[in-house]
Amino acid sequence: MRDVIIIGAGGGGPIVAKELAAQGLDVLMLEAGARNKTPETNWKHFENDANNPLSGYLRFGPSDRSKPSWYREVTQPAMISNLSGVGGTTQHYFGNSPRAMPGVFKGYQGDDAQDYDRDFEFPFSYEELTPYYEWVEATLPVQTAAMGTSEQVFFNGCENIGMSVQVTKDTFQDGYRAQQNAVLQPSGNAGRTTNKSDLTYPLAKGCTFCGHCTQGCYEPLNAPRNLKARRSTDNSYVPMALTADLWAVQGKAVTLVADAYVTQIHTQQINGKTTATGVSWRDVNTGEIMTENAKVVVMAGGCIENPRLWLNSGLPNSHDWVGRGLTDHAFDFVCGIFPFNTDSSKGVGSSARADFPGKGCIEPSSLGPAGLASNLMMSDSGIRGMYDNGRGVFGEWDGPSGRLIGNEFKNFMSDVNKTMGMLIITDDDVEANNRVEPSSLMSDEHGAVPKMTIHKRTRSQRTLDNREFLANKAASILRAAGASEVLRIDIVPLLLHLQSSMRMGDDPQNSVINANGEAHEVAGLFVADNSALSNALGGPNPTLTTQALATRTSEKIMVQYFSGTPWVNSNEPMSSIDDAITQAVLARGL
């Protein structure tokens, strides 16, 4: 019997694995997708080869790309940005690591308190989570993003519309700032040359400004895995977890099994309480079914797979909140054409931000040609200037919203380094009818596939107002930065920042897990990924908060089930780029 079994090796699972392994527990981590041990030889900077949702190497599907991707039933056109494999969706995230806005936590007393979703707040204070933020920020590490031309253009626009610089990690008022991100600062030749032979480790360290974050980070070439620039969990927490016996005093190395799709969580009635006792999983390559028991089971399979697995396992759902309350930040995309160079395709994907408490955020988005073209084509407003489906809204941008075609599209794409795209990220209200549930029509070898109910999706008026406010604000920033033309796409549902489908809360009638991360109705079963988040965080990118929450949940597991003591407030965190970790990674050939 294991001490702990963790389902999923994406943005949250490896945090729990590393923390509990460092405390000496026997941890098994199961991942449905592949573990890529040699990304330098298997990954490329070709956008379609990486990001094609059906056949790309970064897709939600088996490692054998001759096999189809795993299916999800979606009830309206949408783009689901969700990956399998060790590292999960962090394999192509930009590393953006802002903290949540304090207004989404219990006990917040700010003048803008009512601007947030007060019905669905975190069941503890912002101050209580702060030490766990600091722990993760030191572990990854999180640093101030390296700046380039596009960031300076963005800052100029913000300043020109009268915004103030934000100088702390805590967001209490409108402001712009450099991104806090999990990307190592460039040093040596990094950022100084495009000569590949000069961009290998140790001649170059940290971010090389290649501009290909969404294709998976494997630079600098020849760097040990824990020193790859972008701190996706496959480059940070997973190497730490797999070497915990070498660097932690009481540590025990995590056992990681990839290509292991969990199909069942097993329970027993113990002391009158439904209690998790283990899991069964299917070997994706051979079809063999295996079962193992544990004292604690942690679900970290994501906002879509966690509800599917729970419901397919027949676990209790008395209040019908498993899978409900899905938030997705109601994205939009506003872009500008400039009469001068912005270098928008170079560097980290997003190194600057503007925050508007109670409404959301704006982030300039550095994309390659394919990513930019894709965003310009995905509109709910139809073709710009031709038909608008009744949605072609006007505002601070030029003409109606909508997707670009023909000469207008060619003109925009003629020089991507004279453009700037801005991602709109709203504080999206938790709505019970936005949900993930098993399909009644389709099953695969892993059970009923998940259905995402987003047709005629419920959006609160506050969410809709947030989106319009931020789109107009983004257009104003672009104009003030010098854009000669500004366009709004009115983007289709982009299911990128999925959150809250297994939400944490005090009330079992509208939440699945309690303030410790443990299921209200199943003892010994915890949730530790984006699905555990109580709400949309006020708009900021969710990964850092998920990882801080997973660290806190790890402590709760240790104290409650293994007679441990809290460590975050009493010890110094070990950085994933510490020399001891590097030596452990090299010794183990990771």
Tell me the two tokens of residue 212. 């290909």
Handedness of CA 559, 564, 566, 572 (dihedral sign): negative
pLDDT in tens, 294-336: 999 999 999 999 999 999 999 999 999 999 999 999 999 999 9
Express the helix, strand and coil content of the chain in percent, nearest 5 each: 25, 25, 50
Q: Do strands 332-337 and 289-299 pair parallel, antiparallel, or not at all (unpaired)?
A: unpaired
Q: 369 in helix, strand or coil?
A: helix
| Section 145-160 average pLDDT | 93
Mean pLDDT of 58-75: 87
State the fold for domain 2-588.
Answer: FAD/NAD(P)-binding domain (3.50.50)
CA distance 61 to 80: 13
Contact 39, 235 (CB under 8 A): no
Beta strands of 73-129 (E only): which ranges? Answer: 73-74, 79-80
> What is the structure's pLDDT at 452?
67
Bridge-partner residues for 270, per DSSP? 273
Place of tokens 């003892």: 523
pLDDT score recorded for residue 276? 98
Whole-number percent of the chain with pLDDT over 70? 99
Distances (CA, A) of 548 to 161, 265, 427, 551: 34, 25, 20, 5
Overall average pLDDT of the 511-538 stretch = 98
The per-residue b/e assignment along 251-265, b for 16 or more CB within 10 angstroms, e otherwise, is bbbbbbebbbbbbbb
For the chain, what is the mean pLDDT? 93
Residue 457 in tokens: 């999706």
Beta strands in 392-473 (DSSP E): 419-426, 435-444, 447-453
pLDDT in tens, 40-64: 888 988 888 988 888 899 999 998 8
Q: 64-73, 368-377, 485-494: which range is least confident on average?
A: 368-377
What confidence score (pLDDT) does residue 519 get? 98
Give yes or no for residue 76 having a pLDDT over 90.
no
Alpha helices in 126-187 (DSSP H): 126-139, 149-160
Give the mean pLDDT of 206-233. Answer: 92
How big is the CA angle at 234 (ends 63 and 218), to the nearest 5 degrees? 85
* Dihedral sign from CA coordinates of 468, 469, 472, 474: negative
Predicted confidence (pLDDT) per residue in 269-298, tens digit: 999 999 999 999 999 999 999 999 999 999
- Specify the pTM: 0.96
**DSSP 8-class letter at 105:** B
Q: How confident is the model at residue 453 (pLDDT cuts 50, 70, 90)?
A: low
Q: In the structure, what pLDDT confidence band is assigned to residue 472 with cuts at 50, 70 and 90?
A: very high
Q: Is the pLDDT of residue 171 over 80?
A: yes
Q: Which pLDDT score, from 0 to 100, does residue 214 have?
A: 86
Q: What is the mean pLDDT of residues 466-487?
A: 96
Query: Domain limits of the chain?
Result: 2-588
pLDDT in tens, 342-398: 988 887 878 999 999 999 999 998 777 888 888 888 888 888 877 777 777 888 898
| DSSP per position, 321-379 | -TTB--B-TT-EEEEEE-SS---TTSSSS--EEEEETTTEEEEEE---HHHHHHHHH-B
d(CA 301, CA 480): 42
pLDDT of residue 11: 96
Residue 451's identity, in one-letter code, is: K
Quote the pLDDT of residue 456. 53
Q: Which of 26-40, 72-86, 449-463 has the highest mean pLDDT?
A: 26-40
pLDDT value of position 349: 75
Q: Whose CA is closest to 437, among 316, 308, 262? A: 308
C-alpha span between 367 and 345 (Å, rounded): 5
User: What pLDDT is stored for residue 147 in this prediction?
Assistant: 84
Copy the structure tokens of residue 8: 């999923």
Tell me the sheet residues that pair with 275: 268, 523
Q: What is the mean pLDDT of residues 93-121?
A: 94
pLDDT bucket at 258, cuts 50 / 70 / 90 = very high
